[in-house]
Structure 1
Amino acid sequence: MERFFAKVAENRAFLSKEDEHHLLNVMRAKRGEKIEVVDEGDLYLCEISSLSPLEISVLNEINRPTELNVHLILGFALLKGGHDELVLMKGTELGVSSFLPFISERTIIRLDQKERKKRQERFQKIVSNASSQSKRLATPEVMPILDYKNIFDISADHRYLAYENLSGEVFRLAEEFSSFKAGERVLCLVGPEGGFSKKEADLAIENGFSPISLGKRILRAETASIYISSVFSLLEENK
């Protein structure tokens, strides 16, 4: 059954022009067909009551929770080759609450403010599509693309940095992720293809971030983000 994010009012659902086009011209919907509509986290079973003009009637509300009790903010450095789009899609499927893309010292891609805004909008569209496909009740937010030095003002109850090249203590991912309480916000940062520089790691630690280990093997940047999201989702789903 198709799912759309739309406005619900007075027992009717109102789709965007883009979704209307998709429903009528791509999916070839028929009168009487059922669809699911999500409005601000609430899920509704709806029926297409008219095609021209398109009218969608709400049949009933559905209670089917999909969101994790702890909010994961996944911070990731922009990646080349469209790999950051993979991070967005898979992170959304795995329950990430918000995405924080950033540009760090070793990030290959460089964007001006206009290009950053355009990239953010494209990222948000990717996340919205992934939310519909994975049957989520909430669409994760894609935050504005920031320079690394400006990300430390983001509010979170717990802060982590995927970085192991330190002489001090490095925390194990699963152990740290097992102790969160409902409603808390967890911010995890993953670097670009070349990782974080020691200067960047030191700056993060000075700002309250704890370095975490992702295991004994070296992971690609996009794999690291997906791995963090997977472990987080697994531990939260099984509480």
Structure 2
Amino acid sequence: MPRIYQPQALQAGLQFELTPEGARHVQVLRLQPGDGITLFGDPVAGGEWDATVRKMGRSSVEVEVGAHQALEREPARAVHLAVGMPANDRMDWLVEKATELGVASIQPLMTERSVLRLKGERADKKQSHWQAVAVAACEQCGGNRVPLIHPVRTLDDWLRQPSPEGLLCGVLSLAPGSRPLLQVAATDPAAPLLLVHGPEGGLSPQEEQALLAQGYAPVTLGPRVLRAETAAIAALAAIALAGA
């Protein structure tokens, strides 16, 4: 059954028009009145809602909400990513696949070696685009909690904010002495994870030292040098598969 993101509080029997994005999705699928859909994104009830298409307009779709399904498909452990943005369409791919693997949030970063440089209106448009990519990925994969894509920031600016309490923080590193990711994750199995990694070319030594000085543990995914977008996905997959 088609899944549509509808970020509002819902209740059985409620009739309303979908968001423009949701209506466009229904129309692209050529659904008709009487067809069933699944709504998710309720910030209060969570889970999913059954719904039925009632009316189709030229640019609007009215639905009626049915029963609530208390289903969640999120990983047992929240993982947040802070990523040096890879260039071209690789960031889109990273957001899509990270969402499928259950990432809790993504912080796009500009670092010393970043190829992609964004600011002002262009940065805002990219953030909105990536948030839409995350929504579409949740509609496809069955996730009911869309990860938050934060505004683009420089690594220096981001490091000036206090580190959130209760997070187990690591930086993906090729430096000697880095510990395996799952070994570090096992030191506090209940803690959410925050993982930082660089763009093409990695973090500079100065940037990595700045992270280490703030208590980030250097972690490794193994001896191979992975592309920036591959490293993020490999880390998420390793944690998900291990149930860590």
TM-score, reference length from structure 1: 0.90
Provide the rounded CA distance (Å) in 1 between the counterparts of 2:3 and 2:12. 19
Is the 8 Å Cα contact of residues 12 and 67 (structure 2) preserved in structure 1? no
Select which of 178, 184, 201 maps to 2:186.
178
Select which of 85, 89, 98 maps to 2:92.
85
Is 2:178 the counterpart of 1:165? no
Is the 8 Å Cα contact of residues 119 and 152 (structure 2) preserved in structure 1? no
Q: Which residue of 2 aligns with 1:30?
A: 32
SS in 1 for 2:54: strand
Provide the rounded CA distance (Å) in 2 between the counterparts of 1:107 and 1:188. 18
Aligned residue type for 1:227: A
Greater shift, 56-65 or 203-212, is seen at 56-65
TM-score, reference length from structure 2: 0.88
Greater shift, 189-198 or 9-18, is seen at 9-18
Is the 8 Å Cα contact of residues 70 and 180 (structure 1) preserved in structure 2? no
Q: What is the identity percentage for the equivalent residue pairs of Structure 1 and Structure 2?
A: 24
Q: Number of aligned residue pairs: give it.
A: 233
Superposed displacement of residue 71, structure 1:
1.5
Change (3 A) 1:82 1:45: same
Superposed displacement of residue 80, structure 1:
1.3
Aligned residue type for 2:55: S
Q: Which residue of 2 aligns with 1:2?
A: 2
Aligned residue type for 1:17: P
Provide the rounded CA distance (Å) in 2 between the counterparts of 1:181 and 1:85. 30
Change (3 A) 1:212 1:104: same
Select which of 2, 14, 19 maps to 1:16.
19
Greater shift, 71-80 or 149-158, is seen at 149-158
Greater shift, 191-200 or 171-180, is seen at 171-180
Superposed displacement of residue 107, structure 1:
0.5
How do 1:92-171 residues align onto structure 2 when only pairs under 5 Å count?
A: 92-152=99-159, 153=161, 154-155=163-164, 157-166=167-176, 169-171=177-179
Provide the rounded CA distance (Å) in 1 between the counterparts of 2:75 and 2:212. 27
Provide the rounded CA distance (Å) in 1 between the counterparts of 2:50 and 2:134. 22
Is the 8 Å Cα contact of residues 5 and 15 (structure 1) preserved in structure 2? no
User: CA RMSD for the aligned pairs?
Assistant: 1.8
How do 1:60-79 residues align onto structure 2 when only pairs under 5 Å count?
A: 60-79=67-86
Greater shift, 9-18 or 119-128, is seen at 9-18
Change (3 A) 1:65 1:112: closer
Superposed displacement of residue 108, structure 1:
1.1
Gaps of 5+ in 2: none
Is the 8 Å Cα contact of residues 177 and 235 (structure 1) preserved in structure 2? no
Provide the rounded CA distance (Å) in 1 between the counterparts of 2:26 and 2:188. 40
